[in-house]
Every structure is written in C-alpha cells, then in structure tokens.
Structure 1
Amino acid sequence: MSWTLYPARDFPRHIETWTGLHATLGPRHATVLLSAPFVAPLVAQFGREGDLLACWRQGGTVRAMAIVRPGRRGAWATFQPAQAPIGLWLQQEGLDTERLARALLGALPGFPLIPALTQMDPYLAPRPADGPCTRTLDYIDTARVTVRGSFDDYWNARGKNLRGNLKKQRARLEREGVATRMEVERQPGAMAQMVADYARLESAGWKGAEGTAVRADNAQGRYYHAMLENLAAQGKAGVYRYYFDEQLVAMDLCVEDGESIVVLKTAYDESVPSNLSPTLLMREEATRALFNEGRLERIEFYGRVMEWHTRWTEEVRTMYHVNYYRWPGLGRLHTLLDARNRPAQQPTTSL
C-alpha cells in the first residue's frame, strides 16, 4: 500500500485509471468536477513543471488519486487553479483520509512538512475532526438549490421582494415590446462559439478592464472550450443564453452529472440598464425548466455566497481546507502564527 508519483503533465496517459476510480465512487461522490473530461484540460492549461499525479494502490488496485503542487516552506497542496471549484483529490469511500495524507508525506520528494487538501466540499467528503496532526480551516460558504417538488412551490417560498421585482421587470420589458427568450446549447461542436460569445460579454465589462476576462485565445478560453466540448460529448454540459430581442444579455456555463448541475461561470451585458437584471431573469427561467424536467436533484453554485444567493435559497454549507502536519508541534506552531497574523475577529479562510 503506497503512493506512486508521476509528472502531472502525463495525466493523459493515466486518464483510464482516473476514470475507472471516479466511476467507483458512487453517484453522490462522483461529481463531474472530478471527472477526467473536466480535469484533463485544467492540467493542460494551468499545470506547471513540478506538479505531480499521485496514485495510491492497495492490493494492486488504485483506490485514491490526486494532483498536487509544491508550495513554499515544505508545503504541498492539491492542484487548485481558480477554474476548479474543488480540490483534485479522489478516494474511495471508507478509506482514512488522514492515513492517505500521512503516507503521501513519505512519498513526496524532498522533506515535505504539510500536504494540504484544498476547497473540500462537506457534502462530498465529510469534514474530519481536528487532531494532533490534523487541522481544518473554513474556506467559504457556498449555496445550492435542492430540486424537489414543483417550481411553483419553490418560487412561492422565495421572498416577496425577489418575486415582485422580477415580475415588474418582465412587465416593463413587455410594455416596451422587448421579447425575452432563453436558449440552452448542448452540442459539442457549438462550444467554441459559446465560449467566444461568453468572452465577448465578459470582456466588455469590468473583468475586461481588469484584464481577468475569459478570451477565446487565452488559457481560460482554451480551457472552457476543451472542457465544455469534452463534457458535451457525454451529454454533461449546457450553456444557457438569455436574449432581449436579438441582444445577448446573459450567459451561464454549466456542467452536469447524474445528480447535479453546476453553474461555473456567469456573464451579463453591463450596458443593460441597472434596474434590469438579465442574469436573474435567466436564472428564474432556467430554474423553472430544471424543476419541470425533474432530471437532476441539485443546482450547485460553488462560489462564495452573495446576497442574491440568500434570496434564491436557504441551503448554505461551509467548504473547508485540511492541513496534515508531519509533527503535532508544527500544527500548533502554524495555528499560533496564523492567530498572530490574522486581524482580530477575522475567521481563517485560507491556507
């Protein structure tokens, strides 16, 4: 029982192994965010020299895998580009995560002090208890909607302000003769155009001004194109587009598995008057469609909870990081230094 390490750039050679392990996790744990079609483009576009693919075998069978990256001062962490909502760590149910992490310490090159599991979802992996060599840290609160019952029941449980505001917006658009429509694109061959359309929306706004927008020709654009195309070929991707007449005003880039749909990226036309909310109008129609279809159980947002999320749902959970220390004293020292460096009453939210 041991870890074997490979350069992460060789991930394509190990896709079948990753896919086979992912398939053994069961519907709840086999999130699309850890599937090979999602992960391979992440490694291709955002990986760098020194990243490692780790495989843990028991009795000749791979039962855990991870992609890890070296950090400073002897720390390693799961590969965590901004485009990945959760850390790239796979393990079969019933395995002891702390035991796996401690074994990884002995396999990593050099003399590592900390392997960290980042952006863990308590729904997929229950949060472990702190111990002598284990420390968990809050990351962010994130929201989801459980798709159960009728949309009307769900919508009537939303606040009056939200329902009334969107109803007024629709009435205004109707008075002004503006027709709204939502389109959902699922064809693999259309994903290049979808990403190009998304890039135009995002680049025209504040992200474009800051230089952080998706562009069709940058690493983000290449990633979303490849990933969406990969998953669309499996029927697991959908791009939602919303129009005022012929004007594209909002888009969602989404991926799906057997139980959930994940809204990865949202962009809207910032030239639309501020008293109209094309994103929320689109989301109302998209949510209604998902309730009516009854295919999926959850709508996952995974970003930090915003004010609009709290109007959309009461379901909020806290994602977390885990540090596993070589020695108990190192964990105590890290906790002490972190407390000294953190402003008073500010919760720990990152490694």
Structure 2
Amino acid sequence: MPAAPPQADLMTERASIIDWQDVPAAAWDELARAAGTANPFYTREAVKACVALPEAQRPQVLLVWQGEMLAGALPIAIKRVRGLALCVENWDQRVRALGEPLVRPGAEAAFWRAALPELARRPGQYLRLSALDPDSAASQALFNILREQGRPYYHTRDYARAVLHAGRSSAEHAAEHVRGKVLKEHRRLRARLADRGALVFDRLSRGDAVDPWIDALFSLEQTGWKGREGVAATADSATEHCFRAILRAAHADGTLDFHRMSVGGQPIAMLTNLECGDEAFQLKIAYDEAWASFSPGVLIEMEYLAYALDRRGLRRVDSCARAGHPMIDRIWPERRRIVSLAVPFDNAFSRLLCLGQDRWRARRVDRSATIQGIAA
C-alpha cells in the first residue's frame, strides 16, 4: 500500500503576491489541472486573454507555496472608489463565471491560513470574494478558519444556477426532468428541420482548424439579441480578442468542446464548453434567429446532454448561466449555489465597515419587499 501523502496544513507554506506575468507558467498550468475545484476562468491562458477587456484591471496573483510546489493561486485586484482603495477582491471581469481559487486537494486550509494575512497587507479595507461555490472544499476551509478565529463574514450575493450532474443516462434524465409533451415537440421540430435539408450535429475535432468555427459562432451571435444590444463577442475589438484567444488556447490544449448544429450545410446553432478533467463549463451558445421557431438553442442543448452523459461521461457541467435562465433551467433542474462574500480584516474599522454595509443591504432588501407587497 502506498504511503499516505503528508497533511498539507502541517507543512510550511509561504505566500506572496506578484504580477500575473511573473507567475511561473509551468507551475500555474500544472496547478490548474490538479486543482480540487476546477476553474477554467483562472487558468493562465484565461487570465492572459481577459486582461484585454476594457473593465479588467491588471491582476496580481496570490501564490501559496509548499516547498517547491505551488499549492494554491488566486488572481486578485484592488477595487478603488474615487481613487481610494476600498477592498481587495478576487479578480473579476465579464467573462469570469467562477471565482474559486486554484488549490490542490487537501491544501485548502493551508492555503487560506497563508493567504489571509498576506491579503490583509494589501491596500483596501476588507476582502471581497465573489462567485464562490460555498460547498467547495476551499470555501468550506475558509469558513472553518474564520469561525476558528472568531471572524465574521457576510453574504453580499447568493443565487443558484443550472448544473448538470452525472448519475443517469440522457434518456433517464429526459424522462425524469422533461415532460413527455415537450420531448415529442423536440422530435417534431427535428423532423421539420430535416425536411429543410440534412440535419447534422457535429463536434470540432482536435486536428481541425478552430478559426472557421469561431467565425461562424461570432456571426451567429452577432445576428441575435446580443448583437442588437451590443454585448456580442464582436461588440468591440478587445472583447473579440479575448474570446478568440480563450477558444484558440483551449483548442490547442485539448480542453475545448465545440458543437455545431447545421441544416443543409448551414450552421444554425453552436455551443462551446471549456473542459477541466471530468467537468465542463458552458462558455457560449448562439443560434440563428431566422430559425427561432425551430428552437435550435434547445435542440443543440438536448444533443449536448446526450454527449455529456452518454458518450463523454462528464461528472458535472456548469451552465454558467444567470439564475432563472428561461431555457437551460427547464432542462437542467439541478442547481449550483454561487455566493459572494465580504470578509473583514482582523481590525475594528474593517469589521464596523462590513457590518454597516451588511445592515444597509438588509434595509434595501426589506424596502424592496415592502414595495413589492404594496404593488401586489
């Protein structure tokens, strides 16, 4: 029997914060693959792509080392209001759907014990951690340490989004979660599409050129509501560069999962996912609104359901969608909870500031509930 690995929180850790470009590339890449909670939005290539976004600050990265091994990493930035440092926060921009740190399994407590004092030395009045999974090992370790130290923390946002879990076949999933009448309608729509031309669902192969697929995806997105509202990937050159770089990098390292639905050789829906081991994260979906009456977005998601559960055997797929999404919530009934936190530093001013903000948020919620009650 192999010897048990040493307990991570009994080893000596050292924490540092450096510019993202100075992080050793090989160590960052290896940690991203080994992390206990997968997060494709904090990989080196994702950060490299997203720094081009106009709202993105230049990030630094909190590193926690155990000997020569990188045990954890978290991109961070300083949020400023009128030039004053308000808080230290995990790095955020429009592409990021998850803010979990990259931490090796078993090193979660050691990571936070080393990280919290280092973060407290940065400019800012408190620590803001957004888009965390409260059930992850890293989050649970953080909560335990804060409780041990008698330090409060406050939820600033709490919602749940659609997620797909393994454990059943796609047929079993559909029978359990999608009404028979709806499944019958899906079959009817597919038959109608097949009458217009060959209905083909295919997937980008590792050896195929990715740029033509990216161009087709961006074209579909631009013709829809995202194009009309100016939030498509091609809305500006920085956003297009960011998404193109993410997709190219993922294709190069074999983590891009790119699906296409065509009728008579014409793409009418496309779906991209970023895979991390046995997990996947949906990055973009687009369809041609000229075919909207055929529900191409739903049909490609149902086809992907069969791929993810029956052929790929993924453990979890995160929709990365907003709460209450009108389409994906209907076919993926399971949820992943996402929270954002305000964590005071260990001093009186920081505690009072976070407590005051929490009470102000509570009053806003109460006022909103009262107004809604009157309107009803």
Fold similarity call, TM over 0.5: yes
CA distance in 2: counterparts of 1:53 and 1:98, whole angstroms = 14
Task: Note if 1:107 corresponds to 2:127.
Answer: no
> Which amino acid in structure 2 is aligned with residue 330 of structure 1?
L
**Residue number in structure 2 paired with 1:81:** 93
Map of 2:230 onto structure 1: 211
Task: Report how far residue 60 of structure 1 moved.
Answer: 5.6
CA distance in structure 2 between the aligned counterparts of 1:44 and 1:275, rounded to whole angstroms: 37
Higher helix residue share: 2
The TM-score with structure 1 as length reference comes to: 0.85
Unaligned 5+ residue runs, structure 2? 1-12, 371-376
**Percent of aligned pairs sharing the same letter:** 20
Cα shift readout 1:216-242 (whole Å, capped 9, x = no counterpart):
972222222222222222221121111
Do the aligned partners of residues 295 and 317 (structure 1) sit closer, same or farther apart at CA in structure 2, a change above 3 Å counting?
closer
Superposition deviation, residue 2 in structure 1:
4.6
Task: Please say if 1:95 is aligned against 2:108.
Answer: yes
Is residue 200 of structure 2 the alignment partner of residue 187 of structure 1? no
SS at match of 1:212: coil
CA distance in 1, matches of 2:233, 2:354: 39
Output the CA distance in 2 between the equivalents of 1:49 and 1:319: 23
Change (3 A) 1:319 1:49: closer
Determine which of 185, 191, 194 is the counterpart of 1:171.
191
1:134 to 153, 171, 174: 153
Matched, 1:117 2:129: yes
Say if 2:71 is the partner of 1:63: yes
> Which AA in structure 1 matches 2:188?
K
Q: Is 1:156 the equivalent of 2:178?
A: no
How many pairs are equivalent? 338
Residue of structure 1 equivalent to 2:373: none
Q: After superposition, where does 1:1-351 map in structure 2 within 5 Å?
A: 1-8=13-20, 10-11=21-22, 13-26=23-36, 29-45=37-53, 51-59=59-67, 61-72=69-80, 73-87=85-99, 89-92=101-104, 93-96=106-109, 99-100=113-114, 102-108=116-122, 110=123, 112-124=124-136, 125-126=138-139, 128=143, 132-157=151-176, 158-174=178-194, 176-187=195-206, 190-215=209-234, 218-272=237-291, 274-305=292-323, 306-326=325-345, 327=347, 328-342=351-365, 343-345=367-369
Structure 1 distance, partners of 2:234, 2:358, is 40
Question: Unpaired segments of 5 or more residues in structure 1?
Answer: 347-351
What secondary structure does 1:207 align onto?
A: helix
Q: Is the 8 A contact 1:251 1:266 kept in 2?
A: yes
Residue 104 of structure 1: CA displacement?
A: 3.0
SS of 2:185's partner is helix
Q: Is the 8 A contact 1:98 1:134 kept in 2?
A: no
- 1:265-304 residue CA offsets vs partner (Å, 9 max, x unmatched): 11111122x4320111112222223333143222220212
